[in-house]
Amino acid sequence: MIWYFRQLAAGLACLLALPAFAQQAEAPIQALLVEYGDIIAKSSRKTIGPAIDALANSGLPQAQTVLERWQAKEMWRNKETGLFVFAEEVDRDTLRIFDFNDEGEIGIAPDDDFKQLKPNSGIRGMIGAALVQFQLIDPDPELRATALDAIERDPEESHLTALRATAQGEGNPVLAARKERLERLLTIRFGETDDERIAAIRSFEGDLGVDARATLNPLVATSVVVSATPLGGAEIKRIIEPGSEALPRSDAYALLVDAEMAPPLVSREDKRVALVANIEDGQVAGIEVAALGTEAARDMAYAALAATGKVEPVAEETEIEKTLQTFLFYERYTGASPAVALAAADVLSGIETKVAWNQMADLGLDALSLASIYFLAAIGLAITFGVMGVINMAHGEFIMMGAYTGYVVQLFVTDYTLSILIALPLAFAVTFSAGVAMERLVIRWLYHRPLETLLATFGISIALQQIAKNIFGTQARPLTAPGWLDGSLVFNDIVSISYIRIAIFVLALLFLALFLFVMNRTRLGLEVRAVTQNPRMAASMGINPDKINMLTFGFGSGIAGIAGVAIGLYAKVTSEMGADYIVQAFMTVVVGGVGNIWGTLLGASLVGTLQKGIEWLNPSNTLAAQTYMILFIILFIQFRPRGIIALKGRAAEA
Amino acid sequence: MSALLEVSGVSVSFDGFKAINNLSFQIGRAELRAVIGPNGAGKTTFMDIITGKTKPDEGRVLWGEKSQSLLAMSESRIAQAGVGRKFQRPTVFEDQSVAENLMLALKKSRNPFSVLRFRASERDRARVEDLATEIGLSGALERKAGELSHGQKQWLEIGMLLAQDPKLLLVDEPAAGMTPAEREHTTDLLVEAAKTRAVVVVEHDMEFVRRLNCRVTVLHEGSVLAEGSIDHVTSDEKVIEVYLGR
Amino acid sequence: MSELSAGAFRRKPLVVQYPSLLIFLGLLALFTLGVTVLSEGFGIGVISTSFVKTLGKTLCLCLVALAMDLVWGYCGILSLGHMAFFGIGGYAIGMWLMYARTELIVIESLAGQALPPTAQEISDGIATQIFGVVGASEFPPIWAFAHSLPLQLAAVVLVPALLALVFGWLAFRSRVTGVYLSILTQAMTLALSLYLFQNDSGLRGNNGLSGLQNLPGLGDVPQSVVSVWFLWASALALGLGYLACVAIVSGKFGSVIRAIRDDEARVRFLGYPVEAYKLFIFTFTAILAGIAGALYYPQAGIVNPAEIAPIASIYLAVWVAIGGRGRLYGAVIGAAFVSLLSTWFTGGQAPDVNLGFATIQWVDWWTVLLGLSFVAVTLFAPKGIGGLFDLIAAKRSPDRHGADLGPDPGALREKEANE
């Protein structure tokens, strides 16, 4: 019964659907599909090409829908009429079918009447490539951009045609530029003639894009070939000598062995194994095993074995040399035809020079930002050391205190912009008070005993560090920058600088200005300078040197606190972060010269540039960079014991 | 008479300030000379140049029979060559005994390795005791220099200078902080010393200079203003102007 | 210190001149004998082997503190780099210890093979064993003499001496003094430790050299015995070092270096080549530190770049300051006192202090206590523990209000106050 009803229902559905089957069979798209109907139905990768091309190049507005549906396995063919539709499955047996021409619903039909077209992945890829040209002219610019991304990721020859076809009509200038550039890149890779490719290569002269270099580099790839007779021809780049840096002798010989032009070498290990295999009665080829404790003895035994034919003879050192001399080694272009390779090599070398300059500029920016960090870390030290002659070994811990202040503020204030705005003055306040307390309790009693000040402040330093460790633990704490400081200012693919670094640089400039203002334009600055130059004279003029010293020390410490917030944004907050910066800060002050803010600035620039420069020369090893920098500074002190800007005469001895 | 020390055309400036300006000066082998001048005349810098502490920007400083240049020599080499200096403020080694201070100054090899092997001989000890007697500290040999009075420290420093047995003695304000009797003793000592060596005394106190009874060089703004006997220079118009103001 | 004053003037035997020398040597001998009798290896076993090692190490620390006192307390050079020399001594002897012991192991493992091993195979085997951790299998040139005990022993002395000589010559020649010099020596230590932290430094990067407690060829001798041997060696080195230091500071040389400490320029005007004296002391103390390190690290078992970090040298200064600088026994007392106390606190043996609201665990808070007590010593007891002996002996130098032994203007101010 049930079966019967079902048949009936199906029959009814057919009957109901039938009138709508007056499908637009004469529509051009349908005609095209029908024309290639059998090829499409066959769905073979080998033969499908013309069908896809015909669809893609038909210029019909519906072609894109067809290709998309086809690719998504949603295209069905009516078994009876041979017409194509796309359909959604209503349930297991029924389909809701649509016409390609106007995408209008035709009706509901049982799936038995239709055959689903299931292109395999190879064909889907071909369809996808064909689709790109439609996506490239899609009205939605985002889709067009996605299509370009797809091409950039995985370019194919067919994209080139698509790009060329659509480049003209692009209305969006950004996308137009991208299309144009991509077209040239693809021409380099897939261009039909060398001239075309070379022209495209030339168009990238001096281009800094990573994509340009990535496209050009494979073109200049070479491989080493070996030949007994001289080789000529444009694809030969150069002759290389075995034993040179480009081709070590062992590699050259290995090439010969691979080409079966020379006998293989027998390694020490193989020799030993061969000897062991030939031990007879405690002897190898008549030599006692016990005597085989030297390489010379083993060579002799092996030679004796070879003479009896038990092992392969071995290539001797002199023979290797002779063999190598009988062959010529060439480097040959393998990435492209010689003309293209030469053009690429030429353009690449131009690009590389430009890249080097830009890297220098980028390095300069890096050095600048490192210098600003050192300057921030050192400026407080320069004040206490330079102005008061007090070495504050706990300065690094003041930096740490500032950074932890920022961290604690962020625990309570979750808005990062607001929290930083609160943290900066608060860090100043905290470290200012700590500085004043330290000056009152310790430093004051130790004026004019610099070595003891150094040691006492060091005691404070280790105590503060351990206290921080006990309170906050040993793991690094985050200090998150506000969102508007994320990202970088990008000049080109090589030169860029993050906004945080710019902010630190600006902060450093602000501090320089603040310092100059306080020292040169305020009463406090005047009194500080007076106390620095002649404390007793200043005292007799009614300046209280005690108070001035206290304020100066507090000011220096407060700046360390703010530097701590800045450094915390850029690096992690740990109890040891102060110690990481203190040596460089000292170097900055020492190199710059004591008692002069410009000296500190120069010192920071020098130390920062130097560190970045050495890191650039030896990028794999930042430890070595620091080592060499310190050695340089030790040598620098030889020539300018009092720093770049040194005081002379009586003032220097005060 | 060939000069022991010849300074000619020496200039030095600190950050643009000319402390010494084209100064020339000569002193013979056994001569007492007083150098006077107002504050900032360059007296101390002048001594700094001779002893090698400050290197002049230009000029020559020649020493001894062979006319050696002192400019290329370090402070310690100059001192070894025979230039002794007494500072304005008494600088003795306060943490060490009077005997040790004198023994340090005694004319002996200054090489670290010979100093390491050094053991004081009877003669050395006798010399130290003689010197102590001469400067009135024979009873205080074992006392720490830091316990001495200001005047005694001055004496000790003079004693150390004598122990060095220099060919040229540079003395900066020797009489400062001394009682009149001590001053007299100092004068005698300097005059006596000048019989066998050159002595340059820098002094403010005109009375003291008069008592030395020697040639006087007046410095002003880094160069020699006048030179001659005390009576000659005190009657010089320019000197009076500099000292008394216009 | 007044016991020194007569030295330059009236010649007497060293011991009479410097009575504390005899007391010190006597106490040291007594201590060594006592520990031996109480040790597990040679005596009744009251003191554990690990504690014997701690005591032996402490003696080495006393020796390097002695060196520090000579260079800082007597010559006024606050070197923050002497632990670098100490570490170099440890590395120098460690290279031989590690090489020789690995060689024995490699030879043993190769003995089972059909052919007798060649020299190259042995060397490759050792290199793979030693440098496997840093991914290398070849000997760096720096190990050229590692096979030879005499040469490495020579390196214990020569390498620190050479480094001190070159560094000192550069620094003193350009008249770097005071805090500048301290920072420069600290930079030197930092550079060295950063260099050693690299894996391609040839000294196993941050792994350092390990297994140094095992003496090659003496695998059968238990550590309880070896530890006592090292205690004897350390005590002997400390005794001889003390003797040498006393000999230096008691004579005219000592007088010169103390004079340099107090007023360098004045000494120069007396005709002494100040730089040469400083260089001598700097180099000599570097050698002492190297020897101390060479004895210390076989007892510690491992030497790595962290041992050379600047902080170690600062702790050295802390010991000397707490013990009392400018007197040799002060340095020894300071090093022994602070390092043993530190072992006690950080070893978790010290009882926790319950404050009601919180518990002070000394493992965490000991460093804080040390830092603050160091500040307190600097402020209130610049003469350190050694100053107590002056009180007992009622020997008081003129009251200088704690100012000063260093070569700085403080001393001058003091004089003016007395005028």
Contact assignment for C178 to A463 by CB distance below 8 Å: no
**Whether residue A282 is found in the same domain as residue A208:** no
Backbone angles phi, psi at B26, to 5 degrees: -140, 150
**Do A60 and A179 share a domain, yes or no?**
no
CA distances from B73 to B21, B51, B66, C260 (A): 22, 9, 15, 20
Taking only the tens place, the pLDDT of each residue in A293-314 is 787 888 888 888 888 877 777 7
Whether A350 is in a domain gets the answer: no
Residue at A410 is within a domain: yes
Q: Which two tokens stand for residue A580?
A: 């990481």
Q: How many CB atoms lie within 10 A of CB C48?
A: 14
Per-position DSSP letters for C261-296, written without gaps between them: HH-HHHHHHTT--HHHHHHHHHHHHHHHHHHHHHHH
Report yes or no: A165 and A147 within 8 Å, Cβ to Cβ: no
Query: Quick check: A648 and B19 CB within 8 A?
Result: no
DSSP bridge partners of B33:
B200, B215
Segment among A114-128, B59-73, C52-66 with least mean pLDDT: A114-128
Same domain membership, residue A157 and residue A111: no
Is A555 among the domain residues?
yes
Cβ-based contacts of C372 with chain A (< 8 Å)? 459-460, 463
> Is the minimum CB–CB distance between B99 and chain C shorter than 8 Å?
yes
Mean pLDDT, to the nearest integer, of B168-179? 81
Q: Structure tokens of A616?
A: 């650039």
Residues A282 and A202 in one domain: no
Q: What is the mean pLDDT of residues A249-268?
A: 78
- Rounded distance, CA A488 to CA C255, Å? 63
Which has the higher per-residue pLDDT, B25 or C395? B25
**Going by C-beta distance under 8 Å and a sequence separation of 6 or more, which residues neighbour residue B201?**
B32, B33, B34, B35, B171, B174, B190, B209, B212
Percent of chain A with pLDDT strictly greater than 70? 93
Of B99, B164, B177, Cβ closest to residue C8: B99
Q: Is A264 exposed, middle or buried (0-12, 13-18, 19+ CB in 10 A)?
A: middle
| ipTM topping 0.90 | no
Q: Span C18-41, mean pLDDT?
A: 88
- Residue A255: strand, helix, or coil: helix
Nearest by CB to residue C280, choosing from B85, B99, B112, is B112
Chains that touch C (3 or more CB pairs under 8 A): A, B
Residues A141 and A117 in one domain: no
Q: Residue A235 domain-assigned?
A: no
- Note whether residue A33 is domain-resident: yes
- Please check whether residue C398 touches B, CB under 8 A: yes
Q: Are strands C209-210 and A287-288 parallel, antiparallel or unpaired?
A: unpaired
CA distance B59 to A29: 105
Which tens digit of pLDDT belongs to each residue from C62-81?
A: 999 999 999 999 999 999 99
Burial C217-243 (b: 16+ CB within 10 A, else e): eeeeeebbbbbbbbbbbbbebbbebbe
Domains of chain B, CATH where assigned: 3-244 (3.40.50.300)
Strands of the sheet with B58-63, listed across from one edge: B17-28, B3-14, B58-63, B68-69
In which residue are the tokens 């009882």 written?
C351
Give pLDDT tens digits for C302-351. 999 988 988 889 889 989 988 888 888 899 999 999 889 888 888 777 77
**Domain C-terminal end among A99, A124, A149:** A124
Residue A114 and residue A141 in one domain: no
Query: For position A347, what pLDDT does the model report?
Result: 87
pLDDT digits (tens, 9 = 90+) for A540-557: 888 888 888 888 899 889
Chain A interface includes B15 (CB < 8 A): yes
Q: Are A627 and C195 in contact (CB < 8 Å)?
A: yes
CA trace torsion A549, A552, A554, A555 (10° rounding): 170
Task: Look at residue A248 and tell me if it is in a domain.
Answer: no
Give yes or no for residue A168 having a pLDDT over 50: yes
State the nearest Cα–Cα gap between C80 and chain B, in angstroms. Answer: 24
CA of A645 vs chain B CAs: smallest distance (Å): 12
Pair type for strands B58-63 and A222-227: unpaired
Does B160 lie at the interface with C, CB-CB under 8 angstroms? Answer: yes
User: Could you tell me which chains touch chain A, where touching means 3 or more CB pairs under 8 A?
Assistant: B, C
Contacts of A275 in chain C (CB under 8 A): 114-115
Output the pLDDT for position C273.
93
CATH code at position A532: 1.10.3470
Q: Are B200 and B44 in contact (CB under 8 A)?
A: no
Contacts of C49 (CB under 8 A, 6+ apart): C39, C40, C41, C223, C224, C227
A645 to chain B: nearest residue by CA?
Answer: B15
A105-110/A75-78 β-pairing: unpaired
B198 vs A259, residue with greater confidence: B198
Mean pLDDT of chain A: 81
When scoring C1, C9, C253, C412 by the number of chain B Cβ atoms within 10 A, the one with the most, hence best to mutate, is C9
Comparing CA positions, the residue from C407, C174, C156 lying closest to residue C279 is: C174
A402 shares its domain with A487: yes
Contact check, Cβ <8 Å, A641/C371: no
Of all residues in chain B, the one with the smallest CA distance to C279 is B112
Binary contact (A650, B14; C-beta < 8 A) = yes
User: What's the domain count of chain A?
Assistant: 4
Interface of A with C in 366-395 (CB under 8 A): 391
Three-state SS for C221? coil
Rounded to 5 degrees, φ, ψ at B158 are -60, -40
Inspect the interface and report whether the beta carbons of C370 and A459 lie closer than 8 Å: yes
Residues 6+ apart with CB under 8 A from B225: B37, B218, B219, B236, B238, B239, B242
Position A522 in a domain: yes
Give the position of tokens 């010989």.
A253
Tokens of A230: 């001289």
Are residues A459 and A562 both part of a single domain? yes
**Are A191 and A301 found together in one domain?**
no
Question: What is the mean predicted confidence (pLDDT) over B120-135?
Answer: 88
Domain that holds residue A304: 266-314
pLDDT for the residue A3: 55
Same domain, A552 and A521: yes
Interface residue A296 vs chain C (CB under 8 A) = no
**Cα→Cα distances B47→A118, A277, B88, B188, Å:** 105, 90, 11, 23
A605-649 pLDDT per residue, tens: 888 888 888 888 776 677 777 788 878 887 887 777 777 766 544
Q: Which residues contact B135 (CB under 8 A, 6 or more apart)?
A: B155, B156, B158, B159, B162
**Of A594-598, B215-219, C244-248, the least confident:** A594-598
Q: Measured between CA atoms, how close is B114 to chain A, in angstroms? A: 29
Spell out which residues of chain B touch residue C325, defining contact as CB-CB under 8 Å: none
Which residues does chain B have within 8 Å of residue C382's beta carbon, measured at their own beta carbons? none
Residue entry with tokens 């010593």: C377
Q: Which of B105, B116, B144 sits opposite C397 (nearest CB)?
A: B144
Q: CA nearest C185 in A: which residue?
A: A634
C110-166 pLDDT tens trace: 887 777 888 888 888 888 888 888 887 788 888 888 888 999 999 999 999 999 999
Interface of C with B in 190-249 (CB under 8 A): 248
The tokens describing A578, both together, are 């102060």
Interacting residues of A126 by C-beta distance below 8 A, sequence separation 6+? A45, A48, A49, A52
Tokens 């640089």 belong to: A505
Asked if C406 lies within 8 A of A451 by C-beta distance, the reply is yes
Amino acid (1-letter code) at residue C21: L
The predicted pLDDT at position C12 comes to 61
Residues A615 and A636 in one domain: yes
∠ CA C407-C417-B45, rounded to 5°: 55
Amino acid at A197: R
Question: What letters, b where the CB count within 10 A reaches 16 and e where it falls short, cover C334-347?
Answer: bbbbbbebeeebee
Average pLDDT over residues A241-264: 79
C-alpha distance from residue A64 to each of A61, A132, A137, B72 (Å): 7, 9, 11, 92
A522 plus A402 within the same structural domain: yes
For B178, name the nearest residue in chain C, comparing CA atoms only.
Answer: C419
B172 preceded by cis ω (within 30°)?
A: no
